[in-house]
Structure 1
Amino acid sequence: MIVRQKLNTFKIFFTLRGSIVPKIYPQILLVTLLSVIVTIVQHLSPNTFPSYGTAPFTLLGVALSLFLGFRNNASYQRWWEGRCLWGQLVYDARSFTRQVLSFVDEDTEAGREAQRSMIHLTIAFTHAVRHRLRGTSPWQEIEPFVAPTHHTAMHQAKNLPDYLMRLMGKQLGEVRRQQLSSELMVQNMDERLTSMTIVLAACERIHNTPLPFAYMLLVHRTTYLYCIMLPFGLVASLGWVTPLICAVIAYTFFGLDTLSEELEEPFGLAANQLPLTALSRTIEINLLEALGENDIPPDITPINSYLQ
């Protein structure tokens, strides 16, 4: 995710970090080049492209704007829902840790080990959710927080976060059997685990259910057709200004189209997607501090205004 201070008027036009321009400049160049060719032809032979009027392009532009607006709203809703879900995960992880430290008997070695195990598994679960959503290898970050006896089964699990959640449930059941906490508090802690499971399922739903392909295809086709036809309809009335106007319109429409694609999948590593690495590191730091451990990793800070 891009993290930067408010830009002044001058920097707005020259900032590329986080901008959509690097992804759409081929389309902008194509439309601009086509517009230049059409303008030159019209200048050399004024009757080549007669004036059709701007009404058809105005109507089509309005329709395309509505399509792009609906799609961007749908993509942003997915992005915002993903952020809300990770906010819920932060809340659940902190609340579960507080309950474990407050209500699991720490006067015995078994109680202290249960506290440490469940909190470490919560950290591992958080990292596992992030890696599952991004399709990256989780083992380096997760293995230190999981007992070696579970490593073989963990590597064989089809859904790693769900496997870790089952381990946490078994550990909580062991706390109940050893009477290290009251029945009521065990039930409350289990509700926190259920809430984290709901977050996992909701994130998987967003990740595995893209916007309908037919709708995306319609927007793509209409955007290309509109921007390619535009110079032929404007050249008779605008003359040499046609390439500039067409370039600006292409930037707007192709930019909205590409930005909606980026926001549609909020859990990736693109510049405008969610900073899951920073969020999971925040959870890790908070939980290790609560546990009283000294080997705490540093916060993840933005690099060149980019926060992973």
Structure 2
Amino acid sequence: MKKKDGWFHIALRWKGSVLPEVLPRSLMCGLFGVFIYILYLYQVKVSLPVLGAIIPNIVLGLLLVFRTNTAYERFWEGRKAWGILVNTSRNLSRQIIVAIAEKEPSDRQAKIAAVKLLPAFAIALKLHLRAEPVNAELEANLSVKQFDHLKMMHHPPLEIAFWISSYLQDQSIQEKLDRYQLNDMIQLLHQMVDVIGICERILRTPIPLAYSIHLKQLLMIYSLSLPFQMVDQLQWMTGPIVALISFTLLGIEEIGIQIEDPFGHDANDLPLDNICNTMMRNIEDLVMVSSVKS
């Protein structure tokens, strides 16, 4: 069992945090606060508490909460879709191995090749969502002919789903699979194809641009108005406090930005590589167990 990191270890962690993205902007706001304090020292009338009423805290807070919740909903929907894919591939691979009759020695190899298409489907979907070309990750689960053919396809996971469907139909025609079993397997394959649609919808439906722009504008106005509200009371502490408050607000926004597209390579994205590796191990275990029994 993997040991959990300690509280302080997580709190002080740099990798996976929003510090690299947010810190420069927070420091800029803090330096602006220092600049306002210098003007204050030279008797320039920069103390304007009335600016606190420009953007009520509750309004900005609600906008940030809505932004983060919307992004997390996309992240969680993506994770549920990949969970469905994992469970469906396990069920379909199990049914293929157990239900399809082996009348000739070559049927065994054809069955194993069909089962290996299931993790290949997941890997192809991962590459498709990341806009990456077909690569060596797929070679272990495909024949040379299939691999070369897949390189020319615009939608590799859909092509692999077609191969699986063709294999199942052929087994039914050869009476190695009855129509009820075929229907159950096709339904599972439909669920796998539905996962493609769910992930593509998440990927190709970004947060509305007007909302993102407006939120950034409000954050900028609020952060830059803080020194005018605080300088009279905080004086030399104006810069650090403004930087701290700005870091808090900008960090919440950045979290939403990072998790709204959960299929990339960032530390806060879904662990698609690990999920695909898990599927491959599951299939290898099933193939090994079925080989021992046969």
Q: TM-score range by the shorter chain?
A: over 0.9
Q: Which runs of 5+ in 2 are unaligned?
A: 290-294
Question: Aligned pair in 2 of structure 1 residues 13, 170: CA closer, same or farther (>3 Å)?
Answer: closer
Residues of 2 paired with 1:212 and 1:188: CA distance?
40
Pair 1:5-2:10 in alignment:
no
Residues 284-293 or 267-276, more deviating: 284-293
Contact 2:36 2:231 in 1 (8 A): yes
Q: Deviations 1:107-149 (Å, cap 9, x if unpaired)?
A: 4224313311211111211100111111223320113322233
How far did 1:4 drift? Answer: 7.6
Question: Does 1:14 find its partner at 2:12?
Answer: yes
Give the CA RMSD over aligned residues: 1.9
Give the corresponding residue for 1:290: 286
Cα distance change, pair 21–265 in 1 and its aligned pair in 2 (3 A)? same
CA distance in 1: counterparts of 2:59 and 2:257, whole angstroms: 19
Distance 1:143 1:15, change over 3 A: closer
Aligned-pair identity (%): 28
Distance change >3 Å, CA 235–CA 279, structure 1 → 2: same
Match of 2:49?
52
Amino acid at match of 2:188: R
Number of corresponding residues: 288
CA contact (8 A) 1:75 1:264 kept: yes
Label 1:278 to 1:11 Cα distance change in 2 as closer, same or farther (>3 A): closer
Counterpart-to-counterpart distance in 1, 2:229 and 2:113: 69
The TM-score with structure 2 as length reference comes to 0.92
Q: Distance in 2 between matches of 1:238 and 1:52?
A: 12
Q: TM-score, normalised by structure 1?
A: 0.88
Contact 1:127–1:138, Cα closer than 8 Å, also in 2:
no
- The C-alpha deviation readout for 1:18-42, integer Å capped at 9, x for no partner, is 2111111110110011111111221
SS at match of 1:156: coil
Decide which moves more: 64-73 or 131-140: 131-140
Partner of 2:32: 34
* Structure 1 unpaired stretches of 5+: 294-308
What is the 5 A alignment of 1:52-201?
Answer: 52-53=49-50, 55-56=52-53, 59-201=55-197
